[in-house]
């Protein structure tokens, strides 16, 4: 394989083995993967290459890679106490790479054959409650173009349930607030139409009127731009959401994906159909969407536990059938229910 001089926007591209360069270029051209996804593959393969070199092997000569090399990497990751989910992702990257080599006729045997992913812990996605989400998108922001941009971004993430990568990939010419829908390019270059409400449309329209104040190049296509005039990146977006959460007085660290989770959870709590939510989120499998039902169930159980007299945590409010509750116990139960309604 000849050296690939021009490829995906990956840091340290020229230091990667030619086999890896070919794989990453294939992901970009043939599979249509985003830059962020390709960089993730590059990071995982670069880490494996560093391990291989410590064992006098390299991905440049894949015929010499054996299952013991993969197990050795797993042992090192275990000693480093890397999360199982991260280990699973790295194995998935390696599997995709070796499948590519097999497809190109460059591999005689798969070194990952018989190696399974570690059993994953199941974690429910994190989400804000309705009051917290409302406080964040209405948080006090700087009275300038940057503040208008920040609130428009937050409103779009919560109001439309976009992935942060989808929101940051939007171009100004792609957005028509008056149309009530956004044309979004999701994972695997799959396009979908996402409805936006009047409030979200208003925030975007307001941002578009002042967007030029942050531009240094009038030909910049990005909808959301940073203070230097270029397309906003993930790190900047995460900082924006965290700052808005702090300004809103939220008690926990909030990241952009929590707004997407909140969007899904609140729709399900309001009685939206699972299939409709799946389509809005752009999930290929409904099992991914079903993860958010656990948030809905958690909400219901919290209300029950705090308010119902027969719940395990509500036993202190239980009274004998032939006795009226005292005023103090009745007031306590009412206070707890009121607090639940305010907090959840």
Q: What is the DSSP secondary structure assignment for residue 253, as one 8-state letter? A: -
CA-wise closest residue to 132 among 240, 239, 263, 236: 263
pLDDT value of position 24:
95
CA-wise closest residue to 278 among 270, 263, 288, 266: 288
pLDDT value of position 289:
58
- CA-to-CA distance for 242 and 258, rounded, in angstroms? 11
Burial of 30 (0-12, 13-18, 19+ CB in 10 A): exposed
pLDDT value of position 73:
92
* CATH superfamily assigned to domain 130-291: Intergrase catalytic core (1.10.443.10)
Buried b (16+ CB within 10 A) or exposed e, 301-327: eeeeebbeeeeeebeebeeeeeeeeee
- CA-to-CA distance for 73 and 273, rounded, in angstroms? 43
Strand partners, 193: 183
- CATH 1.10.150 maps onto the chain at 13-103
CATH of domain 13-103: 1.10.150
- CA-to-CA distance for 49 and 17, rounded, in angstroms? 9
Q: Which residues are catalytic?
A: 163, 187, 257, 260, 283, 292
pLDDT value of position 9:
83
- CATH 1.10.443.10 maps onto the chain at 130-291
Q: What is the pTM of this model?
A: 0.56
Q: Which residue has the tokens 């940051």?
A: 168
CA-wise closest residue to 243 among 158, 159, 168, 142: 142
Per-residue pLDDT of the chain (344 residues), as tens digits, is 434 456 788 888 989 999 999 999 999 998 888 888 899 999 999 999 999 999 999 999 888 898 999 999 999 998 998 888 888 889 999 999 999 998 888 887 888 888 887 776 655 567 788 889 999 999 998 889 999 999 999 999 998 888 898 899 999 988 888 888 888 877 766 778 888 888 888 999 999 999 999 999 989 999 999 988 899 999 999 999 999 999 999 977 888 988 988 888 888 777 777 677 767 776 666 666 556 555 444 544 454 455 545 445 544 333 333 433 333 333 333 333 333 333 33
CA-wise closest residue to 268 among 164, 130, 132: 130
pLDDT value of position 321:
37
pLDDT value of position 122:
59
- CA-to-CA distance for 247 and 141, rounded, in angstroms? 8
Cα Rg of the chain, angstroms: 25
CB-based contact 244:136 (threshold 8 Å): yes
pLDDT value of position 152:
94
């Amino acid at each position: 394989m000849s050296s690939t001089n021009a490829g995906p926007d990956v840091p340290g591209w020229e230091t990667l083995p030619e086999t890896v360069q070919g794989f990453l270029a294939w992901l970009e051209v043939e599979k249509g993967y985003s830059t962020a996804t390709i960089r993730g593959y590059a990071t995982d393969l670069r880490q494996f290459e560093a391990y291989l070199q410590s064992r006098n092997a390299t991905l440049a000569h894949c015929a010499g890679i054996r299952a013991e090399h993969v197990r050795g990497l797993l042992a090192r990751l275990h000693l480093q106490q890397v999360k199982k989910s991260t280990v699973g992702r790295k194995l998935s990257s390696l599997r995709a790479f070796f499948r590519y080599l097999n497809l190109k006729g460059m591999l005689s045997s798969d070194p990952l054959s018989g190696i399974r992913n570690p059993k994953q812990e199941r974690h429910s996605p994190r989400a804000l409650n309705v009051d917290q989400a409302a406080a964040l998108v209405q948080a006090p922001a700087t009275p300038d173009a940057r503040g208008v941009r920040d609130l428009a971004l937050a409103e779009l993430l919560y109001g439309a349930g976009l992935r942060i990568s989808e929101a940051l990939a939007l171009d100004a010419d792609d957005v028509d607030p008056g149309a009530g829908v956004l044309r979004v390019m999701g994972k695997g270059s799959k396009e979908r139409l996402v409805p936006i409400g009047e409030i979200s449309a208003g925030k975007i329209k307001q941002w578009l009127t002042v967007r030029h104040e942050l531009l240094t190049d009038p030909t910049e296509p990005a909808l959301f731009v940073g203070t230097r005039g270029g397309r906003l990146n993930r790190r900047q977006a995460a900082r924006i959401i965290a700052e808005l959460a702090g300004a809103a007085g939220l008690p926990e660290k909030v990241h952009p994906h929590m707004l997407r989770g909140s969007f899904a959870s609140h729709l399900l709590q309001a009685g939206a159909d699972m299939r409709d939510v799946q389509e809005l989120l752009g999930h290929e499998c409904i099992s991914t969407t079903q993860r958010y039902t656990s948030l809905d169930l958690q909400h219901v159980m919290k209300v029950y536990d705090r308010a119902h007299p027969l719940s395990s945590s509500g036993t202190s409010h239980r009274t004998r059938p032939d006795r009226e509750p005292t005023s103090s116990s009745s007031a306590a139960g009412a206070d707890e229910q009121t607090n639940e309604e305010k907090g959840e």
